[in-house]
Amino acid sequence: MKHIAAGVLNVAYREVGPTDGTTVILLHGFPYDVHTYDAVSVRLSAAGMRCIVPYLRGYGSTTFRAAKTPRSGQQAALGADLLALMDALAIPSAVLAGFDWGGRAACIVAALWPERAKGVVSCGAGYNIQNISQAGNPVAPEKEYRNWYQYYFHLERGRAGLTLNRRELCRLLWRLWSPTWSFDDATFARTAASFENPDISG
């Protein structure tokens, strides 16, 4: 695991593949971590690509550089984190790929600094760049249901639940979001260790 000061963060990241290959930055979401890309980074590096796989803010050993920095998951903060990481690593442009928070960060950078994105791969319908002015409008009940955890985390009860039952709650989300994925205890445990960052948020 490598570390670098990047903007407001000390970012922990993995680097896989040849240093002179096309750079691909692989960005995880909640509640996942760098292990999401274990298999794909091996395949991409075998194809000659340099993969950078960072722990996002609040995960693993990525930490805030100053105690006073607001702990925020706002889309602007996620985009700023990615841009700062690219600057710190002297990456002028890269293929940006991610899902959930990671997909949002990739899309923000590609939209605001298109010269920094050679390409974008973002998974997760409806969770790329958020239209803030429309965020309060209800959507179809099925879509609202998928976001139940976000409402839960806005309550003090949700904060307490995430603190007391973090692993169980995250494991439930894995099962709900990927009902056909038969992950084992070891796979979950590898990622769950990164949830112990004191700045984790949903």
The third-level CATH classification (topology) of the domain covering 2-129+137-196 is: Rossmann fold (3.40.50)
Span 6-60, pLDDT tens digits: 999 999 999 999 999 999 999 999 999 999 999 999 999 999 999 999 999 999 9
Cis peptide before 31 (omega within 30 of 0): yes
In this structure, the strands spanning 50-54 and 23-27 are: parallel
DSSP letter at 62 equals -
- Quick check: 202 pLDDT over 70? no
pLDDT, position 130:
83
Strand partners, 9: 6, 64
Q: What pTM, to 2 d.p., does this model score?
A: 0.92
- Quick check: 107 pLDDT over 70? yes
What is the average per-residue pLDDT within 128-146?
A: 85
Q: What is the DSSP string of 140-194?
A: -HHHHHHTHHHHHHTSHHHHHHHHHSHHHHHHHHHHHH-TT----HHHHHHHHGG
Q: Which two tokens stand for residue 45?
A: 């590096």
Residue among 88, 66, 74, 72 nearest 13 (CA): 88
| Contact call for residues 116 and 93 (beta carbons, < 8 A) | yes
Please give the Cα distance from 73 to 60 (Å, whole number). Answer: 16
Other CB atoms within 10 A of residue 41 CB: 22
pLDDT, position 96:
98
Q: Which residues of 154-192 are buried (b: 16+ CB within 10 A; e: fewer)?
A: eeeebeebbeeebeebbbeebeeeeeeeeeeeeebeebb
Instruction: Give residue limits of the domains in the chain.
Output: 2-129+137-196
pLDDT, position 126:
59
Q: Give the residue, 142 or 106, on which the prediction is more confident.
A: 106
Going by C-beta distance under 8 Å and a sequence separation of 6 or more, which residues neighbour residue 46? none
Q: Give percent of the chain above pLDDT 70.
A: 97
- Quick check: 169 pLDDT over 80? yes
What is the average per-residue pLDDT within 158-179?
A: 93
Q: Which two tokens stand for residue 196?
A: 């112990």
